[in-house]
Structure 1
Amino acid sequence: MDISASGAGAPEEASAKPAADQADYPPPKQAWYCVAILALAVMVNFLDRGILNLLIEPIKADLGLSDTQISLIVGAAFTIFYAIFGWPVAVMVDRFSRKHMMAAGIAIFGLMTMMSGLASNFWHLFLARVGIGVGETTSGPSAYSLLSDYFPPEKLPRAIAVMNLGFVAGVGFSMIIGGVIISFVGTSGGYDLPFGLHLRGWQVVLIMVGLPGLIVSALMLTVKEPIRRGGIQKESRPIGEVFAFVGHHWKVYIPLFAGLALRSVQMFGLQTWGAPFYARTYGWSGVQYAYVAGVSLMIAMPIGLFVGSWLAERWWKKGIYDANIRITVISTAVAVPLAILQPIMPSPWLAAFIGFFAALWGGMAAPVENAALQSVTPNHLRGQVTFMFLFIMNVVGMMMGPLIVSTFTDVIFSEENIRYSLFLTALLMGPPAVFVFWAGMKPYGRAMAAGGPLQPPPAK
């Protein structure tokens, strides 16, 4: 990992380019207000996802669903809209007001979450979860595009780290609150409401989780739309030209995308099967796992987020322009061995201890990897390229991660030996992720030393 290839030895005129237009960025108070609202949006999003996973058993019992139907609701339903309509939405993000796009998406997300709580059969719940994908499709591309116009490149990782606190709070609170809900819902006969309406405990929870989305949607409208900067054009390019752009700069983008795909498969595999792993291997209850995992995540991830963003900003100021990818490589190189060891630990507390540090080191990559993508991508393509990035995480990772683990369990191991399925998944996915991230470090550093964002390929 040669620092000289990162841009540290670039000539003065090159090193001055990344900071050339920083003076006209929006005021810090305005920028950090936007970050706060985006963090709330992310928190509401992941609060819903996390709690749904913990409500699977009572939902199955009340609606008479099979495991296959539950897997479709948790995974496929969410990704259907994302996979089919995500690209057109991303194009709209590049052309229209991002705050309005995001406010509409958050409102739809909240309403569909509440509709999930009114479901009385499989199809009601499945279609409501498809609707939740509508809201999620607008959020990611809009949020990252907004931040890239609020903050200069060297400060972008810190802003993304703060926004990602919403992810930490959403997942962490969903685990902790979910631990209480599991025991409560298990003994609750439901609630009788006016007009003869009867709701089960899990239905009330989903309705309550959806309500904050409507509030955050209204708050999103108070955010000021920043001026777009960095390779601005009046109209977004056709999809073929977007792929041509990514293909032309494949040495920068392919390592980012491939590394994310490999890492997401391992991450979502453990996230989905974490509770069954601790139950089958160590005999922990769902409540015990929820409390330990939730508290651990809420301590480890913020440390990782801010250490990663702090290092990136510090190294950037020293002229190390591949800092974002360099930290991603280091983070993944440490987190991967920990993820491999975690499922084969002899005791649950030792496994949780290893998992704590895996989350801490893994969290270092989250803000800098996203910042890397935004920094090298022209403004008029950010929504669409960010969609590619998030498509890999949500569709490839969320669908393939749990499936690969369960396939190893069914075909090679057994349910009681799920630990070896998690071990094998981490072993197969982790080391290649480190390598491909490392392969993209030098090309990214050269692009940023030259002034970022990348230029479109020459016309034929």
Structure 2
Amino acid sequence: MKTGSISLGRATQSIPSTTRSGAISGEAWVALMLLTLVYALNIADRYVLSTLIEPIKQEFDLSDTAVGFLTGTSLAIFYVTAGLPLGVLADRVNRKRMIAVAVGVWSAMTTVCGLSSTFWHLLISRIGVGIGEAGGTPPSHSIISDYFPAKSRAFALSVVGLGASVGAWLGATGAGVLNDAYGWRTTLIVFGMCGLPIAALIWAAVREPKRGQQDEVHELLVTTSSSLRETIQFIMSNKAIFHVMAGATALTFWGWGIVWWIPAFLTRSYALTAGQAGVLIGPIHGIGGTLIMVLTVFMMLRYHSKPLSLQPKFVGWTTLLGTLGSVAVFASHDIKVVTLAMWIFIPIIYIYIGPTSGLIQNLFPPSMRAKGIAVLLFVVNIANLAIAPQLMGFCSDLVAPHLVSSQDSLRYVLLAFTMTGFWAGYHYFAAARHIGESQN
């Protein structure tokens, strides 16, 4: 058995590269299903405003720059700011209670968003959503890692990733239909109220597992605390983890950052209503995304006993395919071609979730896992929630006055940013190379 070494404060322990594989309990499956539901709600509440960009923009008479700040950057600033301390907290407190509180907070604040009557009220409420959502994922992934052995974590976290496609489907189709029928405020109130009973269910039905119970590590390593600074130092010293982090950051900027603007792109370029755009995009997220995540789950099961380097390679190759699809979405002017290309591009942006989360959980020691996920969430959400909506909106406003048809500015800007998908693919291939070298 090969081992690696990491310094945790004053204690240095040897970390085995393999872990024991025990039977998966029934309560583990219950926790997995409920945490998948939580993730679906997280994505639905986060991306419902993407579907509602155009009606909100029209009501408050906003520029694309202002819309990007309101719908993405405002959430991201506080999401990532709160995410790191909450990740540290998740390594120290009862995680299932922390998740339940987080769900309750972001659901309540989503409801408040629907009650907002001014831009500033909506902005402050959106910030509250971000703070609540920051407390959900780090403890969720940490709990799953204590219920599932190392070889099953990529599989388990790929199952959780199914929540992203289901949540995006609800956030697109559900929000679009509700908006056309009742308006954007009622839509947000309905989405927010749906989360409160789920928060109560998590509190009542999920049991807090013992930390590190699925790892063959010295008990001192399981119980020893590690600081955020030590976690960041570990990331910077481990080339495989660094490239996984960088790859996920570039991928979310490319994929989720561009997808954020697709409803507005369809409305402007093809004269669709918010509801029609949501109905078009929703099944691509829900059906296409779910099918691609099921494929990812199958591939992670297939890689169960194979070299770990195959997981980032799988993400790298599929990302390159998705990048070509994203180019076609904005290069074509035929809605049929655009729709077909979206069926390639949008589902593929889900693939990275399970393998990336599994790699993070397997490459970090138990005392750093929640903080490791918190750092990952920090960098990827800076990219896809803070930078992407703001930068793409700003560039659209910048380009618009120089075009014959200002409505085409968003198309050309999004087409230019599709190139970042190739950058993401490079980092995953680099991660695979360094993981392979460490296994030899």
- Which TM-score band applies after superposition, normalised by the shorter structure? 0.7 to 0.9
2:312 paired residue number: 325
1:328 and 1:365 in contact (8 A); partners too: yes
Q: Distance in 2 between matches of 1:407 and 1:60?
A: 14
109, 116, 121: which one aligns with 1:124: 121
Residue in 2 aligned with 1:358?
A: 345
How far is 1:407 from its partner? 4.0
Q: Distance in 2 between matches of 1:248 and 1:43?
A: 34
For 1:7-406, what aligned pairs fall within 5 Å after superposition?
20-23=19-22, 26-27=24-25, 29-59=26-56, 69-185=66-182, 201-221=183-203, 222-229=205-212, 230=215, 232-249=221-238, 251-317=239-305, 319-406=306-393
Deviations 1:240-273 (A, max 9, x none): 2222211221x11221121122222222332222
Deviates most, 65-74 or 262-271: 65-74
Tell me the percent identity: 25
1:88: Cα distance to partner? 1.3
> What 5-or-longer segments of structure 1 have no aligned partner?
1-16, 186-200, 451-460
Name the stretch that deviates more: 392-401 or 113-122: 113-122
d(CA) in 2 for partners of 1:302, 1:108: 27
Q: TM-score, normalised by structure 2?
A: 0.87
Q: Whose radius of gyration is greater, 1 or 2?
A: 1
Distance change in 2, residues 1:64/1:438 (3 Å) = closer
Are 2:430 and 1:439 equivalent residues in the alignment?
A: yes
For 1:309, give the aligned amino acid: V
Does structure 1 conserve the Cα–Cα contact (< 8 Å) formed by 2:255 and 2:346? no
Q: Which of 394, 411, 420 is the matching residue for 1:419?
A: 411
Check conservation: 1:269, 1:404, Cα contact below 8 A.
no
Conserved? CA contact 2:176–2:279, under 8 Å = yes
**TM-score (normalised: structure 1):** 0.83
The alignment yields a C-alpha RMSD, in angstroms, of 2.3
Q: Distance in 1 between matches of 2:171 and 2:320?
A: 29
Give the drift of 1:57: 4.5
2: CA distance, partners of 1:235 / 1:131: 33
Q: 1:189 is matched with which residue? A: none
Quote the offset at 1:399 in angstroms. Answer: 1.8
Q: Which amino acid counterpart does residue 20 of structure 2 have in structure 1?
A: D
How far is 1:94 from its partner? 0.9
Q: Secondary structure at the match of 1:22?
A: coil
* Bigger shift: residues 399-408 or 380-389: 399-408
The answer to whether the 8 Å contact 1:235/1:380 transfers is yes
Would you say the 8 A contact 1:309–1:368 is kept in 2? no
Relative distance call for 1:372 and 1:105 in structure 2 (3 A) is same
Q: Deviations over 1:180-226 (max 9, x none)?
A: 223223xxxxxxxxxxxxxxx43333222112221111111221112
Worse-matched range after superposition: 154-163 or 211-220: 154-163
CA contact (8 A) 1:264 1:401 kept: no
Secondary structure of 2:117's aligned partner: coil
